[in-house]
Amino acid sequence: MEQLLCLIAFTVTGIVIGVLFDVFRILRRSFKTADWLTTLQDILFWILAGFITLFSIFKFNNGEIRSYIFIGIALGVLIYMLTLSKYIVKYSVIIIKFIKKIISYPVNLIFKIFNFLLIKPIKFLAQRLSTFFKKIFQNTTKIMKKKEKNKIKLQEKEGIL
């Protein structure tokens, strides 16, 4: 009887691991991630699955490893994947995409308002100031060159050069 209860407990552990696996699948389908981040998520999944398994082994079987533990976990993952996984992933992705649309609309609106009220005027002012200072620099350079030419001409007239 005790082994049957352990088998049931580890079947539930397998279902929990299946749900955890789907969490990562849902995240990947809902958000674009770089390859290195996918690798990091895979490593994180296996670490968490290992901790869940070890926790269950110590909690339900006093740390003793028996073959029915792995049978129960595999059975739990299999039951979950064949029954609920497809629907949970599908509808979770739909819900997350819907939430992203709901959130992105006001965020985009705020960004556009911020851009219109702050960024565009600053860019406009920066362009005007840049043009203004370029003209001042160009005019100053012209004046300095003229002064230098006049100075050279004056020195030539006086016979200094």
Tell me the per-residue pLDDT of 62-93, one tens digit each, with 9 for 90 and over: 899 989 899 999 999 999 999 999 999 999 99
Structural domain range at position 65: 2-83
Do 78 and 6 share a structural domain? Answer: yes
Do 76 and 6 share a structural domain? Answer: yes
Task: Decide: 20 and 84 in contact? Cβ < 8 Å.
Answer: no
- Residue 16's pLDDT band, with cuts at 50, 70 and 90, is very high
156 is a domain residue: yes
Do 108 and 50 share a structural domain? Answer: no
Do 116 and 76 share a structural domain? Answer: no
96 is a domain residue: no
The whole-angstrom separation of Cα 125 and Cα 10 is 67
Locus of tokens 């029915």: 68
Task: Give the count of domains, the chain.
Answer: 2
**Helix orientation angle between 85-114 and 67-83, rounded to the nearest 10 degrees:** 60
47 is a domain residue: yes
- Residue 161's pLDDT band, with cuts at 50, 70 and 90, is low
